[in-house]
Amino acid sequence: MSKRPDLEAFFNPSSIAVVGASPKPGSLGRAILDNLLLRYKGKIYPVNPKYQNELGLKWYHSLSEIPETPELVVIAVRADFVPGILREAGEKGSRAAVIISGGFAESGPKGRELQDEAYRIAREYGIRVVGPNCIGVYNALTGVDTFFLPHDRMRRPPRGPIAIISQSGAFLASIMDWAALEGIGIAKAVNFGNKMDVDEVDMLEYFGWDDDIRVILMYIEGVKPGRGRRFIEVAREVTRRKPVILLKGGKTSRGASAAASHTAALAGDHAVFRGALKQARIIESDEILDLFDMGKALAHLRFPRGKRVGIVTNAGGPGVIMVDNLIRYGLDVPEFSPSLQERLKQMFPPRVAVKNPVDLTGDASNEDYEKALTTVVESGEVDIIVVIALMQPPVLTVDLGDLIADIAWKHHEIPFIVVTMGSDIAKKLEERVEGRGIPVYNFPERAARAVYAIAHCSKCG
């Protein structure tokens, strides 16, 4: 059940009208159409008085001519035409519009007036608006895709249980493209630009009750004025259901002034904002990459019962770095009990360190990993397992991936996170392990942040 039925039409419309559609290659109106034609299964109504039949579709002179009420209206025409189009959409009975067009509040006083006018009309007809000046909405599950970027500019990521809310459109486009490269699964995403109506609070609530979504990632530069308290209220409810990770732009005063130029955000004092995030149990991310590293772990793993981490490695240095970083993020890396150490000692030659990390050294075989992992997992002394497996030493084979996955799935109450570093051979292990739903990171520090995120969530809910 959706908590926000008023926003359903943005993500699951049965029909979409595209006002400003165009058959011209390279145009924005063509890009929107092409992307919808590629994956969207509902009815598409291109609206442009210049055309009648193009790209195998019937074109319409205006919204009013369309034989049904389009559930979603996508608007990509010159700013001064937008209020008129909105009124037409309202008369037609549509209750959701994505205004891609720029030239509103972001462009000066005249644009601000135009935006106010558009807002009044939307309110009058009860139309919810995403935009203006945005790239809009994306739903991999229904094929709704108003991002006007062709696939050769922005690859679409695989489907997965992550939603992204971004105040920056270009940021969202480039991060989607990057997620495609990295194989990070994204279900839905939204960028609302000037957010004249729908904002981060609405979207947080919507995704919070959306069963397709397991993790919500946010990039914002500030909450809409007057919406701070509601943001916290909604976030507190949502974080009881699923993790929310947020990256804030404008944390420093110079950054805040840049944000003011960018989205007119009132970034405010970051210490205050950070306090609010903590209250709302939102995980704050310091960096873009962290947002996704934590998101990937939260999307795929159960939350652990505690924060005791056991490490099995074939490389001492990365093991040491892993420990340092886990401690830095508030995790425990307990020394194993004497009896567990004894069991491990009897299993391996003296070169193997057994205190935690278990350092199997560069001579480790697949079987060594199997023995060590099984013994540590079954000891009951850890809540989370980190496997560091460097594939450069010639003994290991990529079958290690399946072996790790088998043990992880057998003991699914204990989340596994894997670290491997390098190029081709590392990628092979990564594919094998991630293919089985276990997250892999190419540096121990990145994995440490993922461990932090899942451990943080073990206290939620």
Chain positions 263 to 282 lying near its own copies, rule: CB under 8 A, are 263
Span interacting with its own copies, options 36-44, 273-281, 298-306, 348-356, rule CB under 8 A: 348-356
| In the complex, least distance from residue 266 CB atom to its own copies, rounded to whole angstroms | 13
Q: Tell me whether residue 4 or residue 156 sits nearer to its own copies (CB atom).
A: 156
What is the SS3 assignment for 12?
Answer: coil
Sole residue written with tokens 């943005």: 10
Distance CA 119, CA 96 (A): 13
**Is residue 25 near its own copies by the rule CB under 8 A?**
no
Q: Which two tokens stand for residue 256?
A: 């805040």
By CB under 8 A, residue 168 contacts its own copies: yes
361-380 mask for its own copies (x: CB under 8 A)? xxx-----------------
400 binds its own copies (CB under 8 A): no
Q: How many residues comprise the chain? A: 461
Decide: is 108 part of the binding site for its own copies (CB under 8 A): yes
Binding test (CB under 8 A) with its own copies, winner from 107, 341, 374, 397: 107
Q: Name which position in 314, 383, 405, 439 contacts its own copies (CB under 8 A).
A: 314
Q: Are strands 53-54 and 43-47 parallel, antiparallel or unpaired?
A: unpaired
| The CA-based dihedral angle spanning residues 337, 342, 347, 348, taken in that order and rounded to the nearest 10 degrees | 90
Q: Which of 52, 257, 279, 337 binds its own copies (CB under 8 A)?
A: 257
How many residues interact with its own copies (rule CB under 8 A)? 85
Which residues, 6 or more positions from 136, have their beta carbon under 8 angstroms from its beta carbon?
74, 98, 100, 130, 146, 147, 190, 191
Handedness of CA 156, 157, 161, 166 (dihedral sign): negative
In the region spanning residues 192 to 221, those forming contacts with its own copies, defined by CB under 8 A, are 219, 221
Q: What would the DSSP string read from start to end of 114-162?
A: HHHHHHHHHHHHT-EEE-SSS-EEEETTTTEE-----TTTSPPPPP-SE
Pick from 99, 390, 438, 453: which binds its own copies (CB under 8 A)?
390
Residue nearer to its own copies on the CB measure, 89 or 386: 386
Binds its own copies (CB under 8 A): choice among 37, 288, 347, 460:
288
Query: Does 149 help bind its own copies (rule: CB under 8 A)?
Result: yes
Structure tokens at 285: 């991310």
* CB of 356 closer than 8 Å to CB of 336: yes
Select from 35-43, 178-186, 232-240, 300-308 the region that touches its own copies (CB under 8 A): 178-186
Q: Give the span between the Cα atoms of 164 and 202, in whole angstroms.
A: 13
The owner of tokens 């670290």 is: 419
Binding test (CB under 8 A) with its own copies, winner from 118, 244, 315, 455? 315
131/146 Cα distance (integer angstroms): 11
**Min CB(127)–its own copies separation in Å:** 25
Residue 236 · residue 279 · CB < 8 Å: yes
Task: Find the binding residues for its own copies in span 219-238 (CB under 8 A).
Answer: 219, 221
| Residue 422 sits in the site that holds its own copies (CB under 8 A) | yes
442 contacts its own copies (rule: CB under 8 A): yes
Q: Is 38 in the site for its own copies (CB under 8 A)?
A: no
Cβ proximity to its own copies, 13 vs 111, nearer residue: 111
Is 14 a binder of its own copies (CB under 8 A)?
no
CA distances from 402 to 122, 160, 310, 408, 447 (A): 54, 22, 20, 10, 19
According to CB under 8 A, which residues from 60 to 99 bind its own copies?
none
HSE-CB for 362 with a 13 A CA cutoff: 4
- Binding segment for its own copies (CB under 8 A), chosen from 48-56, 70-78, 206-214, 309-317, is 309-317
Nearer to its own copies, 298 or 333 (CB): 333
